[in-house]
Structure 1
Amino acid sequence: MYLKHIALTASLMTPFVLVALGASADEKHEHDHDQEHRQHDAHVHGITALNLALEGEEVHIELDSPAANIVGFEHAPSSEADHAALDEAVAALKNGDQLFRFNNEAGCRMEEAIVTSALLEEEHDDYPDKHSDDHDHEGKGEHGHEEHEGEETHSDIEVTYHFECELPAKLTQLTVELFEVFPATEVLNVQYVIESKQGARELTAKDHVVKF
């Protein structure tokens, strides 16, 4: 699955990111700096990114969203309500057949969904502490994490989906129901590669269909 993730990212990045051949070292440094700056700026609440690629009979989707769009917070889960919201969000994200509906003629069905986030790692670290004796957390947060005054927390949730399509040649449309399930998502930036076709679309709750 890791290799497929790399292949998908590479296939989607190639059409949309072009670096001039023969650029000088200074130009390349400036490009790298600008790219890093854009990556930091990419974390915008309300905006989510989706990459889609069709390879043979397989459709691979990568979803990358600020955690605030999905669970309403980006700090380490620190209460029963936080843990419940995170568990509910993960379950909804794994229901890919409901979030992403391809046109029926293609006969696509979800085979796998993998959710990753720093919040999930923190959940495993923190949750047992809720049932243990109190410890000395001087200078730290509720679950022993150091708090930095004035520091803003940014956490993302990423999901990779694998769909199998019986008739991939008939794949012409994707309807995204993400906005209904996660209403804090305002804009979905879609990039896709379907055989020889590639393109990009900006979806909203009122316009949530991509036609290939």
Structure 2
Amino acid sequence: MKLIRKTSLLLLLGTGLLPQVGLTAGVHQHGVAQLDVVIEPPALTLALHSPLANLIGFEHPPATAEEQALWAELQEHMQQPELQLLLPQAADCSLQSSDMNDPFAHHAQHSHTHEDEHDDDHDHADLTVEYHFHCTRSEYLKHLDLPLLQNYPGIEKLEVRMLTPSGQHLQILQTPDQRLTLP
């Protein structure tokens, strides 16, 4: 995977948060997504990790016109962070960059020569999207609103792992919760 998950690595290696709460990176569980939040003023980094089934209902490369349309729409929507999360206006945040992995890249790399060959990993596709913001007034980052929970009802539970100036934190949001209070 070409996408470098800086926030995931930071959380996994730097904080020890995941072993403390029993979560592991890369766990593929339908209905569950993870959001990593790193606040290092003035920088704010958010990384969403989700099985593709939570977002578009399937995890194989799109084969039909309808699946291709769903995949294209998801890609377009994920490039618009305001459709996934709303930051407080007072924090004066501007998007610096965003990056999204290609969840189907491994399908192109693994060609099957025998129909009886099967690897369960080929049945799973995860999407990771990272957003990097610069917030000139990061002291106003008191909450995030998460319309992604309403936009993608396949996400039944959102595990939010945070690294902030006040330390490491974990919150579990379950729909219809859409507001994340930041410590």
**Do Structure 1 and Structure 2 share a fold, with TM-score over 0.5?**
yes
Counting only pairs closer than 5 Å after superposition, residues 35-114 of structure 1 correspond to structure 2 as 42-114=27-99
Aligned partner (choices 129, 147, 150) of residue 180 of structure 1: 150
- The answer to whether the 8 A contact 1:117-1:155 is kept is no
- Structure 2 equivalent of residue 155 of structure 1: 125
Q: TM-score, normalised by structure 2?
A: 0.81
TM-score, length basis structure 1: 0.71
Deviations 1:149-188 (A, max 9, x none): 9887111111111112120122111111111221111111
SS at match of 2:139: helix
| Count of paired positions | 175
> What residue identity is the alignment partner of 1:80?
A
Which protein has the larger Cα radius of gyration, Structure 1 or Structure 2?
A: 1
Specify whether residues 86 and 3 from structure 1 end up closer, same or farther in structure 2 by C-alpha distance, changes over 3 A only: closer
Structure 2: stretches of 5+ with no match in the other structure: none
SS of equivalent residue, structure 2 residue 155: coil
Deviation at 1:90, TM superposition (A): 0.9
Matched position secondary structure for 1:169: helix
- The CA RMSD over aligned residues, in Å, is 3.1
**Structure 1's 16 and 151: CA in aligned 2 closer, same or farther, altered over 3 A?**
closer
Q: Kindly provide the amino acid, as one letter, of the partner of residue 203 in structure 1.
A: L
CA contact (8 A) 2:3 2:101 kept: no
User: d(CA) in 1 for partners of 2:96 and 2:161?
Assistant: 21
Contact 1:97 1:110 in 2 (8 A): no
SS in 1 for 2:169: strand
Structure 2 partner of 1:195:
165
Give me the whole-angstrom Cα distance separating, in 2, the residues matched to 1:113 and 1:71: 20
Closer, same or farther: CA 138–60 of 1 in aligned 2, 3 Å: closer
The separation in 2 between residues aligned to 1:193 and 1:149, in whole angstroms, is 35
Q: Where do 5+ consecutive residues of structure 1 fail to align? A: 20-33, 126-136, 141-145
